[in-house]
């Protein structure tokens, strides 16, 4: 009560008069947004606690900060995509992935498709981890069956030297889409930006496509480590700027996908992924300290403590790790359970969505209990798979909102 009352005093005595008599600043310097003014309930010139609710940060952001929350927020990786009929219909009309992901109106429309269907607590922008590459001189395409294709894989120092500093003016479609999405969802949901980690992007850039064993890039790391280092350094600088660009356009949270980090033995991850992640996170935290950053790696079980040591605010956990074990390990690594504010995100098995509704309900319950109700964002352990029934996804969201909190289970 005292906390709420303090909040009430601060807002009514200081913030409300200030906001009433000043012009609020827009979060986006280049695109001024409509001014937001606080309104008190009708018939009163005082704000009630209920009014204040409307000005709180989105639930997901508060959970990421370790605040006490009314229910565990839920969004799903790859919640915009091929499993949705509205998406497939739109993709039939605009068959090129690059067109769909590089046209502001289409990005906004696709990102909002799951928002309209399920009202998730996070809305991720429709894009790809490869999207920023052409802005630094690497062309790519997405083949409907094979996935990403890099026309000229990079394997020599001359090719690395030819890459240029990221030209953010070529990524305007990303910033304007984020600004539109943020205006659309307001504070009802968190807007999520994302990037691929330097290592994970390098796997595509060096291999030239998706890979199963990563033989070419691993061979490069053994035989010509200086080339791989130079490439990762360039990507690190570009991606730091790209994250800040997404934040300034409206992202509440930015997720770093180190999707293929788990393919490295931990000591190699320490060399080829961790330093670059740390550098990005340190720089972004210095530049935009209020924005939570997430790191997700597939096969993270052997890397959890290492991932937390990158400085990530949220650690994504895949479904092969027990969330309770993950929490315990990270609390031990932090040395003091109370001071550790790392938030865990995950980790329902995406395959459960192909099962009966009762199994989905059970999986969500179990995940909420193991997550412990605080510092937890409910998600899948990886993305929604193509072919997943839409009503299974709807059921997962419904159950998550009904149960919401491990204390209710
Ligand atoms: O899946 C992950 O591990 C997340 C990280 C990641 C993304 N793209 C983010 C993304 C990875 C590894 C990629 C590369 C990529 N791009 C792949 C995977 C190929 C492989 O090696 O296994 C594919 C198939 C693409 C092309 C692509 N990107 C398609 C066809 C789509 C449409 C949506 C769908 O159904 O997959 C995307 C969109 C995409 N890629 C999003 C994200 C975060 C969209 C936003 C969302 O999550 O809703």
Tokens found for residue 360:
């989905």
Q: Closest ligand 1 atom, CA of 210?
A: 21
CA of 37 to the centre of ligand 1 (A): 38
Give the chain's end-to-end CA distance (angstroms, integer): 25
Which residue CA neighbors atom 28 of ligand 1 most closely?
A: 128
Mode of pairing for the β-strands spanning 122-124 and 343-348: unpaired
| Contact status, residue 347 vs residue 72, Cβ threshold 8 Å | no
Strand partners, 194: 255
CA of 40 to the centre of ligand 1 (A): 43
375 within a domain of the structure (yes/no): yes
**Distance separating alpha carbons of residues 333 and 331, to the nearest angstrom:** 5
Tokens found for residue 342:
């790392």
**Distance separating alpha carbons of residues 241 and 179, to the nearest angstrom:** 17
346 within a domain of the structure (yes/no): yes
Mode of pairing for the β-strands spanning 147-150 and 140-143: antiparallel
Q: What is the DSSP string of 203-248?
A: HHHHHSB--SS-HHHHHHHHH-HHHHHHHHHHHHHHHHHHHHHHHH
| Contact status, residue 177 vs residue 108, Cβ threshold 8 Å | yes
Q: Which of 338, 330, 248, 245 is nearest to 295 (CA)?
A: 330
Instruction: Catalogue the E-assigned strands of 107-262.
Output: 122-124, 140-143, 147-150, 190-196, 253-257
Alpha-carbon radius of gyration of the chain: 22
108 within a domain of the structure (yes/no): yes
CA of 197 to the centre of ligand 1 (A): 13
With helix as H, strand as E and coil as C, how does 315-377 read? EECCCCCCHHHHHHHHHHHHCCCCCCCCEEEEEECHHHHHCCHHHHHHHHHHHHHHHCCCCEE
Q: Which of 375, 382, 355, 297 is nearest to 63 (CA)?
A: 375
| Contact status, residue 85 vs residue 390, Cβ threshold 8 Å | yes
Give the rounded distance of the alpha carbon of 25 from its chain centre: 25
34 within a domain of the structure (yes/no): no
Q: Which of 85, 153, 143 is nearest to 116 (CA)?
A: 85
- Backbone phi, psi, residue 188, to 5°: -75, -20
Q: What is the pLDDT of residues 119-130, one digit of tens each?
A: 999 999 999 999
Structural domain boundaries, residue 289: 74-403
371 within a domain of the structure (yes/no): yes
CA of 81 to the centre of ligand 1 (A): 9
**Distance separating alpha carbons of residues 119 and 125, to the nearest angstrom:** 14
CA of 50 to the centre of ligand 1 (A): 39
Q: How many domains does the chain have?
A: 1
Q: What is the pLDDT of residues 336-356, one digit of tens each?
A: 655 557 999 999 999 999 999
Return the SS3 of 76.
Answer: coil
The CATH number of the domain holding residue 185 is: 3.20.20.210
Q: Which of 395, 377, 409 is nearest to 69 (CA)?
A: 377
Return the SS3 of 48.
Answer: coil
**Distance separating alpha carbons of residues 106 and 177, to the nearest angstrom:** 9
330 within a domain of the structure (yes/no): yes
Q: What is the pLDDT of residues 60-93, one digit of tens each?
A: 999 999 888 989 999 999 999 999 999 999 999 9
Residues with CB under 6 A from ligand 1: 77-82, 97, 124, 126, 128-129, 142, 147-148, 194, 210, 257, 259, 383, 386
144 within a domain of the structure (yes/no): yes
147 within a domain of the structure (yes/no): yes
Strand partners, 329: none
Give pLDDT tens digits along the chain (409 positions). 455 555 555 655 665 555 444 433 333 333 333 444 445 555 566 767 666 666 789 999 999 998 889 899 999 999 999 999 999 999 999 999 999 999 999 999 999 999 999 999 999 999 999 999 999 999 999 998 899 999 999 999 999 999 999 999 999 999 999 999 999 999 999 999 999 999 999 999 999 999 999 999 999 999 999 999 999 999 999 999 999 999 999 999 999 999 999 999 999 999 999 999 999 999 999 999 999 999 999 999 999 999 999 999 999 999 999 999 999 999 999 886 555 579 999 999 999 999 999 999 999 999 999 999 889 999 999 999 999 999 999 999 999 999 876 555 5
Choose one of 148, 206, 210, 256 to mutate for the ligand 1 pocket test, by most ligand atoms within 8 angstroms of C-beta.
Answer: 148
- Output the pLDDT for position 113: 98
């Amino acid at each position: 009560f005292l906390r709420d009352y303090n909040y009430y005093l601060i807002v009514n005595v200081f913030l409300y008069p200030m906001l009433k008599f000043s012009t609020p600043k827009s979060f986006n310097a280049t695109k001024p947004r409509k001014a937001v003014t606080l309104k008190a309930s009708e018939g009163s010139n005082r704000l009630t606690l209920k009014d204040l609710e409307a000005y709180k940060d989105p639930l997901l952001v508060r959970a990421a900060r370790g605040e006490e929350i009314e229910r565990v927020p839920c969004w799903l990786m790859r919640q915009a995509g091929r499993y949705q009929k509205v998406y497939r219909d739109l993709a039939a009309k605009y068959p090129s992935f690059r067109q769909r992901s590089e046209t502001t109106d289409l990005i906004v429309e696709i990102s909002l498709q799951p928002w309209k269907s399920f009202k998730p607590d996070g809305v991720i922008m429709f894009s790809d981890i490869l999207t920023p590459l052409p802005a630094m001189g690497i062309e790519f395409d997405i083949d409907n069956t094979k996935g990403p294709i890099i026309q000229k894989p990079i394997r020599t120092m001359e090719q690395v030297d030819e890459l240029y500093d990221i030209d953010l003016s070529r990524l305007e479609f990303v910033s304007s889409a984020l600004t539109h999405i943020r205006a659309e969802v307001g504070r009802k949901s968190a807007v999520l930006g994302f990037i691929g980690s330097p290592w994970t992007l390098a796997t595509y850039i060096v291999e030239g496509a998706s890979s199963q064993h990563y033989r070419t890039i691993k061979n490069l790391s053994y035989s010509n480590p200086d080339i791989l280092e130079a490439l990762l350094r360039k990507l690190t600088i570009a991606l730091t700027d790209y994250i800040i660009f997404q934040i300034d356009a409206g992202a509440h949270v930015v997720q770093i996908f180190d999707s293929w980090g788990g393919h490295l033995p931990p000591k190699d991850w320490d060399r080829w992924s961790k330093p670059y992640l740390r550098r990005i996170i340190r720089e972004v935290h210095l530049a935009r300290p209020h924005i939570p950053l997430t790191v997700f790696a597939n096969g993270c079980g052997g890397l959890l403590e290492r991932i937390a040591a990158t400085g990530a605010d949220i650690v994504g956990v895949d479904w092969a790790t027990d969330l309770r074990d993950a929490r315990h390990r990270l609390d031990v690594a932090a040395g003091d359970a109370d001071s550790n504010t790392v938030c865990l995100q995950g980790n329902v098995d995406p395959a459960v969505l192909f099962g009966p509704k009762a199994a989905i309900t059970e999986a969500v319950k179990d995940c909420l209990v193991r997550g412990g109700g605080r510092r937890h964002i409910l998600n899948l352990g990886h993305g929604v798979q193509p072919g997943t029934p839409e009503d299974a996804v709807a059921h997962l969201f419904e159950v998550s909102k009904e149960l919401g909190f491990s204390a209710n289970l």
